[in-house]
Amino acid sequence: MVNNAVRDGAVGDTAKGTVSPHLTRLLVRASIATGLDRSRLAGMPGLAVLDEEGIRIPTATVLRLWELISSLAWEVDGSQGVMQLWRPGGLGVWDYLFSVSGTLGDALHASSRRFTAIADPADRLLVTRDGDGVTVTYQGPYRDHPQYPLIAELVPHMLLIVASSGAGRRLAPVRVRLPHRPSAAPKRLGELYNTRYVEGEADHPSITFAEADTDAPLPRADPALAAILDEHARLSTAAARPVLGWLDRFHAILESAVADGPPGLDHVARRLALSPRTLQRRLREEGTSWREELEKLRQRRVDRLLRETSLSVESIAARVGFTDSRSLRRAIHRWYGHGPAVIRASGPT
C-alpha cells in the first residue's frame, strides 16, 4: 500500500527553493570537524543567520555545501559523522514526530507528510508496505547533481537514527538500497546501516523496516501530542522566513518592478542600492545578464497572460514591453517553436 498523504500546497509554495536550517547546521558542523576551512563558508546565503529560528535557507546553499563536503574525506564515515552530531530535537519538530507517534509506522507516515519541515518541497519521502515490511523511499530532484550519491547515502542513515531513537533501541533494517554501487567495504556499510543487506543500483535510495518494528507501540507514544506537533510542523514551515540570496533578491525586485511598467536597469539597480554597472557585473558573476533576466521575465508574463486571460496579443505585447505584436509573436516562436494560439489553447498550467 502506498502512502498518498495529501501535502499542503500552500506550505510547498511558501517554502519552495528552501530548506530548514536544522540539517544544514549538522552538515556545517560535520564539515568543519572534518577539516573544512571556515572561510570557504563566507558569503553563502543563510549561513550567517543559521542559528536563528523561523527561517528557511536557500536550497542552493545546501547544494553548495555538499560540493564543499565532497572535497573532504567523506567516504562512508561521512553520514555517520553528521548523525553523530545529532541529538533528539536536532532536526526540529520533525524529530519529535518519531517519538510521540503511536507506532513507528505512524511516525514514518507523519515524517513523510511533513518532510518539508526539514527539506525542500521538491524532496519526497514515499512510504510503502509489502511482504518485506515498510519501505521509506527518498525521491529528490538532484539525481544529476555530482554530490547526489552523498545525499542518497545520508537519508537512509538519518531515517535509521531518528527511527531508532523513537523506538528506544537500535533497529536493524530488513534492507537498504542505494542508487549507486557502494564503494565502501560491506563491513563498513553494515556498521552504517546496521544490516548486511545493502544493495546498489536502485532507482532511489530507500530503507525497509520489519513489520514487527513498524507495528510495535512506541515507548513514548502520545496521540494528542502527536496531532499537535503534526500541525505545528505545518504551521511553522508556512510561517518561516526565507533568507534570500543576492540573486533571489534581484528576482523579487525585478518581479515587483513590473507593476510600474517594463522594468528598467537603472530603476532595479537603485532598489538594490547598486549602480547599473555593478548590477550588470553581479549578474555576470551569477552566470546571467540583464538581457537574459528580462527575457525570462517577459516569457513568464507572456505565458501567464496567454493562459489565464483573454487579452489580445496586441494588448499583451504592450503590457510586457514589446514594440508591437509582431515582435511578441517572433519572441514566442523563439521560446516555444510555435505561435501564441497553441499556448492559449493549452489552458492554465
Which three cell numbers mark 62?
545546501
**Given this model, what pLDDT does residue 2 score?**
45
Taking alpha carbons only, the member of 243, 241, 240 closest to residue 93 is 240
> Cell 514514518 identifies what position?
108
- What integer is the mean pLDDT of 281-296? 87
**Given this model, what pLDDT does residue 49 score?**
85
CB-based burial, 175-210: b 16+ in 10 Å, e otherwise: bbbbbeebeeeeebbeebbbbeebeeeeebbbbbbb
**Given this model, what pLDDT does residue 5 score?**
43
The pLDDT confidence band at residue 1, using thresholds 50, 70 and 90, is very low
- What integer is the mean pLDDT of 21-33? 89
Q: Give dist(CA 41, CA 194) in Å, integer.
A: 33
User: Do residues 171 and 164 make contact, with C-beta atoms less than 8 angstroms apart?
Assistant: yes
**Given this model, what pLDDT does residue 6 score?**
41
Q: Give dist(CA 145, CA 247) in Å, integer.
A: 21
**Given this model, what pLDDT does residue 4 score?**
41
- What integer is the mean pLDDT of 292-305? 88
- Strand 175-177 vs strand 241-242: parallel, antiparallel, or unpaired? unpaired
Q: Quickly count: other Cβ atoms within 10 Å of residue 341's Cβ.
A: 11
CB-based burial, 73-104: b 16+ in 10 Å, e otherwise: ebebebbbbbbeebeeebbbbbbbbbbbbebb
User: Do residues 109 and 127 make contact, with C-beta atoms less than 8 angstroms apart?
Assistant: yes
Which three cell numbers mark 96?
519529535
- What integer is the mean pLDDT of 43-53? 83
Q: pLDDT tens, 163-215?
A: 999 999 999 999 999 998 876 778 888 999 999 999 999 999 999 999 999 99
pLDDT at 24 over 70: yes
- 132 to each of 103, 195, 215, how far by Cα in Å? 18, 14, 13
**Given this model, what pLDDT does residue 164 score?**
97
Average pLDDT over the chain reads: 87
Alpha helices in the chain (DSSP H): 9-15, 21-34, 59-70, 77-84, 93-100, 104-113, 148-167, 186-193, 211-215, 223-239, 246-257, 265-271, 276-285, 290-308, 313-320, 325-336, 340-346
Taking alpha carbons only, the member of 257, 259, 346 closest to residue 306 is 346
Instruction: List Cβ neighbours of 219 (8 Å cut-off, separation of 6 or more).
Output: 167, 168
User: What's the pTM?
Assistant: 0.72
Q: Indicate left, alpha or beta for 293 from its phi (over 0: left) and psi (-120 to 50: alpha).
A: alpha
Q: What is the largest CA-CA distance in the chain?
A: 70
Give percent of the chain with pLDDT exceeding 70: 93
**Given this model, what pLDDT does residue 56 score?**
93
Q: Quickly count: other Cβ atoms within 10 Å of residue 19's Cβ.
A: 24
- What integer is the mean pLDDT of 214-229? 96
The pLDDT confidence band at residue 237, using thresholds 50, 70 and 90, is very high
Which three cell numbers mark 258?
513590473
- What integer is the mean pLDDT of 333-339? 90
Residue-level length of the chain:
349
